[in-house]
Amino acid sequence: MTDIARMQSASIVPPAPRIERVPLILFGALAIAPFLAALSGAEGYVLSLLCRVMIFGLAALSLDLILGYGALVSFGHAAFLGIGGYAVGILASHGMEDALVQIPVALAASGLFAAITGTISLRTKGVYFIMITLAFGQMLFFLATSLAAYGGDDGLTLPSRSLLAGTTILKNDRVFYGFCFICLLGVYVLAREIVSSRFGRVLRGAKENPTRMEAIGFHPFRFQLLAYVISGMMAGLAGVLLANQAEFISPSFMTWQRSGELIFMVVLGGLGSLHGAIVGAAAFLLLEEFLPEILHLASFMLSSDLQSRLVENWKMVFGPVLILIVLFVRGGIMGLVPGGRHD
């Protein structure tokens, strides 16, 4: 009833975009965090953790674009992280260390891989789509393990972070943090723009009712393919950043478990809101980071031996937490924040 009342009171032209609270708070917090980190006494640790949050936030955001707005459950999205990472590693080992070269190459490679695999995957529907994207992800994973020249199974340590226009400023952790922040903000704004555009509207329509879309003359396949390519390129960018953050690349960037984690981040934050994916990534990584600490504190009454075994096996708590979230937190974190969702 209140829903209907709210709909009817809306004017013909949608209201001008009001500044939304959640993304404002989110990006505001990320912007001031480095200043607080400097005071914390553990600046390096905090910055590195938050960089990881932003990088996985970027990857999760890219996945939300096709998952939340296109209902395409890509279970191979970590492959793009790998492509981005290996673009950095392979180019660097051939002496091309500038991000201004690496990023375009990474984007092109991700886009190409997305175009090829998307053309095949999008012919299938539902469960088959999940499985075929999973298989393509595995294919790339095994390709990486067999790249003996670039470390094979063990991966490859980068000589240093990428150069930026010939300078070494990215080696500074604060500058690198800023670089990640700008990438995330830029991609977020771009994704918001895409979602509300004509293209985004067709994508959302195809998610709701593909047959209806065909009946008015749209071929959902092409729109989904383009969205898949865009999403893949965004995730490729996240891969470039991740390689630089870790100063290391390995096939473990693109295990299927990693793809599963990305999906989890999106669902945890709340599907189809973009900033929800970033919040989800943050929640996931922080939980992973601090769960051992929390367990340590929570089990103070146990003997120190049991306590350390519990902390060591924190994943035995993490797994059930994930299950409980799926079973009971519907709509993700954004579903809990009043007004946190928008469509």
- Is 193 a binding residue for other proteins by CB under 8 A? The answer is yes
CA 245 – CA 235 distance, rounded (Å)? 15
Among 40, 42, 219, 297, binds other proteins (CB under 8 A): 219
Q: Is the Cβ of residue 178 or residue 260 nearer to other proteins in the bound state?
A: 260
Which 57-86 residues touch other proteins, going by CB under 8 A? 67, 73, 75
Which 22-41 residues touch other proteins, going by CB under 8 A? none
Tokens, residue 271: 């599907």
- Contact yes or no for 242/53 (Cβ under 8 A): no
- Is 229 a binding residue for other proteins by CB under 8 A? The answer is no
Beta-strand ranges (E) seen in the chain are: 156-157, 248-249
Considering only 48-56, 167-175, 214-222, 273-281, which stretch makes contact with other proteins by CB under 8 A?
A: 214-222
Considering only 57-65, 89-97, 158-166, 255-263, which stretch makes contact with other proteins by CB under 8 A?
A: 255-263
CA 271 – CA 265 distance, rounded (Å)? 9
Q: Is the Cβ of residue 168 or residue 201 nearer to other proteins in the bound state?
A: 201
Whole-number Cα distances in Å, 69 to 36, 141, 209, 255: 35, 27, 12, 25
Q: Is the Cβ of residue 162 or residue 273 nearer to other proteins in the bound state?
A: 273
| Chain position carrying tokens 């469509």 | 343
Q: Give the distance, in angstroms, between the CA of residue 106 and the centroid of all CA atoms in the same chain.
A: 16
Q: Is the Cβ of residue 69 or residue 176 nearer to other proteins in the bound state?
A: 69
- Is 253 a binding residue for other proteins by CB under 8 A? The answer is no
Q: Is the Cβ of residue 143 or residue 286 nearer to other proteins in the bound state?
A: 143
CA 136 – CA 61 distance, rounded (Å)? 21
| Chain position carrying tokens 């975009």 | 17
Comparing CA positions, the residue from 230, 256, 275 lying closest to residue 60 is: 275
Which 84-123 residues touch other proteins, going by CB under 8 A? 117, 120, 123
Q: What type of residue is 34? A: P
How many residues lie near other proteins (CB under 8 A)?
78
Considering only 48-56, 78-86, 90-98, 307-315, which stretch makes contact with other proteins by CB under 8 A?
A: 307-315
Q: Is the Cβ of residue 203 or residue 278 nearer to other proteins in the bound state?
A: 203
Tokens, residue 207: 């998610």
- Is 263 a binding residue for other proteins by CB under 8 A? The answer is yes
- Is 3 a binding residue for other proteins by CB under 8 A? The answer is yes
CA 111 – CA 118 distance, rounded (Å)? 10
Among 176, 223, 228, 284, binds other proteins (CB under 8 A): 223
Which 116-175 residues touch other proteins, going by CB under 8 A? 117, 120, 123-128, 130-132, 134-136, 138-139, 142-143, 145-148
Which 314-333 residues touch other proteins, going by CB under 8 A? 315-316, 318-323, 326-327
Tokens, residue 272: 């189809």
Comparing CA positions, the residue from 175, 150, 155, 151 lying closest to residue 165 is: 175
Among 153, 214, 289, 293, binds other proteins (CB under 8 A): 214
Minimum separation from the CB atom of position 188 to other proteins (A): 15
At residue 190, φ and ψ (nearest 5 deg) are -60, -45
Comparing CA positions, the residue from 48, 39, 33 lying closest to residue 176 is: 48
Q: Is the Cβ of residue 45 or residue 142 nearer to other proteins in the bound state?
A: 142
Q: What type of residue is 1? A: M
